[in-house]
């Protein structure tokens, strides 16, 4: 199984969640062993996609370098990771990735438009060898050894629409596109009002997020799935785990996980090389992964 990149450059324009201004996103092919690279064309700064460059996880995953940053990268990365793309340049002309409809569906469509090609280098993958867990009270996120890739997430909110929800994704690209990519980010009306008072979430609307008051969903079209909330948490987790730098084989499990816990999990895993191994795909595993990303 070979490394991949996209077959041609593609562009889209969308609104940034926090500043509410148009942002142009461009994806360009990269040669083998380059990985995923971010570039801010407005300030001519490249920011590596590595855990040590994460500068904020309060409301989104944010990477930064030399005083410049790119926010809300996780939805775009979730789609890139789900497609198994190894090498890609992601260019934005502002300090955030456009939010689109609050899911990763638009980015999946963009990657479908770009197409994929194989490169003359073997695909590398990370195999989880030891269980690694990060906790915050009763909240936790865990990576553990497994023969396949699975995401198991549970959330609990004291809200009548959400309450307790669980979802397990036995990963394939097709399952991701059908069951995860359409799930939108969500928030509560009182939070949105507070953020706007601070000059944030200026681009947020019912067009790009599920918004709830104390009792109900405010979006007139309702939910895309009854458990859309936990499905979006898996979408976020897949994007956050892309900071590992490689697709991995293992099991991810979370209770009330967050961007902050996911970031700490990537750091904890990479801190000890005994936790994982980097392998080149061959044999039965190669065939299985090829089917997963077909």
Residue 146 belongs to domain with CATH number: 3.30.1700.10
The span from the CA of 7 to the CA of 211, in Å, is 37
The span from the CA of 252 to the CA of 238, in Å, is 9
User: How many folded domains does the chain comprise?
Assistant: 1
CA-based nearest residue to 94, from 197, 174, 24: 24
CA-based nearest residue to 228, from 185, 177, 169: 185
CA-based nearest residue to 64, from 90, 100, 93, 40: 40
Distance of CA 75 to the CA centre of its chain: 4
Q: Are 67 and 58 within 8 A, CB to CB?
A: no
Domain residues for the domain of 52 are 2-292
Kindly give the interhelix angle for 74-82 and 105-114, rounded to the nearest 10 degrees. Answer: 50
Q: What is the pLDDT of residue 283?
A: 64
The span from the CA of 116 to the CA of 114, in Å, is 7
Q: What is the pLDDT of residue 17?
A: 87
Q: What is the pLDDT of residue 281?
A: 75
Q: Which residues are catalytic?
A: 259
The span from the CA of 107 to the CA of 98, in Å, is 10
pTM over 0.85: yes
SS3 content of the chain, % helix, strand, coil (to 5): 30, 35, 35
Beta bridge partners of 70: 63
Q: What is the pLDDT of residue 44?
A: 97
Beta bridge partners of 32: none
For each of the chain's 294 residues, which pLDDT tens digit applies? Answer: 899 999 999 999 999 988 889 999 999 999 999 999 999 999 999 999 999 999 999 889 999 999 999 999 999 999 999 999 999 999 999 999 999 999 999 999 999 999 999 999 999 999 999 999 999 999 999 999 998 899 999 999 999 999 999 999 999 999 999 999 999 999 999 888 877 787 777 788 899 999 999 999 999 999 999 999 999 999 999 999 999 999 999 999 999 999 999 999 999 999 999 999 999 876 666 777 777 777
Q: Are 6 and 29 within 8 A, CB to CB?
A: yes
- For the chain, how many residues are written? 294
């Amino acid at each position: 199984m070979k490394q991949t990149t996209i077959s041609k450059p593609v562009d889209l324009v969308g609104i940034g969640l926090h500043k509410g201004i148009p942002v142009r996103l461009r994806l360009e092919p990269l040669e083998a062993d380059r990985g995923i690279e971010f570039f801010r064309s407005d300030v001519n700064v490249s920011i590596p996609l590595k855990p040590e460059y994460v500068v904020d996880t309060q409301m989104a995953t944010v990477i930064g370098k030399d005083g410049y940053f790119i926010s809300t990268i996780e939805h775009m990365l979730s789609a890139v990771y789900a497609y198994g793309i190894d090498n890609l340049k992601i260019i934005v002309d502002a300090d955030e990735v456009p939010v689109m409809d609050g899911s990763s569906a638009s980015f999946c469509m963009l990657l479908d438009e770009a197409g994929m090609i194989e490169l003359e280098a073997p695909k590398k993958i990370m195999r989880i060898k030891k269980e690694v867990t990060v906790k915050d009270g009763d909240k936790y996120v865990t990576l553990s050894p497994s023969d396949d890739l699975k995401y198991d997430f549970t959330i609990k909110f004291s809200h009548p629409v959400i309450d307790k929800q669980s979802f397990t994704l036995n990963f394939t690209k097709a399952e991701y596109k059908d069951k995860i990519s359409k799930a939108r980010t969500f928030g509560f009306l009182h939070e949105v009002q507070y953020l706007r008072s601070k000059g944030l979430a200026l681009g947020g609307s019912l067009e790009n997020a599920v918004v709830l008051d104390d009792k109900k969903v405010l979006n007139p079209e309702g939910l895309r799935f009854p458990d859309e909330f936990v499905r979006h948490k898996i979408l976020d987790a897949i994007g956050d785990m892309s900071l590992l730098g490689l697709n991995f084989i293992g099991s991810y499990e979370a209770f009330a996980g967050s961007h902050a816990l996911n970031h700490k999990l990537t750091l904890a895993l990479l801190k000890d090389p005994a936790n994982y191994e980097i392998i080149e795909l061959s044999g039965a595993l190669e065939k299985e992964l090829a089917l997963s990303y077909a």
